[in-house]
Amino acid sequence: MAEGNKTLVTEFVLTGLTECPGLQVPLFLVFLVTYLTTMGGNLGLMALIWKDARLHRPMYLFLGGLAFADACTSTSVTPRMLVSFLDKSQTMSLVKCITQFYFFASSATTECLLLVVMAYDRYVAICNPLLYPVVMSNRFYTWLISVSYVIGFLHPLIHVSLSLRLTFCRSNMVHYFYCEILQLFKISCKDPSVNALMIFIFAAFIQISTLMTIIISYTRVLFDILKKKSEKGRSKAFSTCSAHLLSVSLYYGTLIFMYVRPASGLAEDQDKMYSLFYTIIIPLLNPFIYSLRNKEVIGALRRVAKK
């Protein structure tokens, strides 16, 4: 197709993490092992929660929902990146590119909402333990998980629909390892200012509002923990919350640097490193962060292993 003297681009070539030929095979092997470990960790955690009746409680069901979101995040990015390590000539159609962005954005949004839900769950459990069974009823926690996923799948539709107004003619080279929407704006023929503004507004609203809610919840939890006279009670509460706070810090830190900052805030290589962290590294770490310090998860794993 042509628009004036310009040829419109309908297929893209992703340059990947590096263009150095000598690194392609080693990186392929590293990220293949990373992906298999990520899927094994997250799907294994989901299977463990489903298998062990003692883990059929809101805290662990929310954790299972988070593990599924992490598995989706990794799957939306890593398989295509592995292909690009072995075949640099492969192109990606505009439809596939937008589809990849949609699934990544939906799982990322869902994860933000689930982290808030998990913070609220810990707040109720620690600050109002007597009311916990009433507040976190089966109906309510099922509703919380469902709403998180529904909003997660609806939110990216706004950006996907806005992306349909763009055309691409400057280049078909995307200097990234997945179809990150901000990178597509750089090669758009039409002014993507409206698209970029909407990305900023929604990212700022979702990330900052959810992060502030988490901070407020854990501030209340911290004050309640410090009031406890029992050293054992403090230790158990800190152990329960520390894993969640570590996951929140890693996840929100990288997302805010990527989407809630000036467009010229980071160099391209730094952009890639931040994206690599929240698309691949965090989904790998989360099942281990939540499992290794949780005695009940470890106990359930031992029981399953014995069987």
Say how far apart CA 103 and CA 153 lie, in whole Å: 8
Asked whether the whole model's pTM tops 0.95, one would answer no
Residue of 106, 118, 212, 98 whose CA lies nearest to 160: 98
Between these two residues, 245 and 264, which has the higher pLDDT value? 245
> Chain-centre distance of CA 34, in angstroms?
16
Position 163, amino acid: S
Instruction: Tell me the pairing of strands 11-14 and 173-174.
Output: parallel
pLDDT of residue 270 exceeding 80: no
Contact 163, 195 (CB under 8 A): yes
Task: Give the helix, strand, coil percentages of the chain, each rounded to 5.
Answer: 75, 5, 20
Q: State in Å, rounded, how far the first CA of the chain is from the last one.
A: 62
Residue of 71, 78, 82, 62 whose CA lies nearest to 44: 71
Helix axes 58-86, 282-292, angle to 10 degrees: 150
pLDDT, tens digit (0-9, with 9 covering 90-100), for 227-260? 765 666 666 667 667 778 888 888 887 777 766 6
CA dihedral 20, 28, 153, 196 (to 10 degrees): -10
Contact 112, 77 (CB under 8 A): no
Instruction: Tell me the pairing of strands 92-93 and 6-7.
Output: unpaired
Question: Domain range for residue 206?
Answer: 2-306
Structure tokens that stand for 68 in this block: 């599924």
Say how far apart CA 304 and CA 38 lie, in whole Å: 20
pLDDT, tens digit (0-9, with 9 covering 90-100), for 164-200? 888 888 778 888 889 888 888 888 888 899 999 999 8
The number of folded domains in the chain is 1
Say how far apart CA 200 and CA 223 lie, in whole Å: 34
CATH number of the CATH domain containing 98? 1.20.1070.10
Phi, psi for 52 (deg, rounded to 5): -95, 115
pLDDT of res. 173: 85
pLDDT, tens digit (0-9, with 9 covering 90-100), for 44-101? 999 999 988 888 999 899 999 999 999 999 999 999 999 888 887 678 888 899 999 9
Average pLDDT over residues 102-125: 93
Percent with pLDDT over 70 in the chain? 88
Contact 90, 84 (CB under 8 A): yes
Structure tokens that stand for 289 in this block: 């962060």
Quickly count: other Cβ atoms within 10 Å of residue 298's Cβ: 12
Say how far apart CA 157 and CA 99 lie, in whole Å: 10
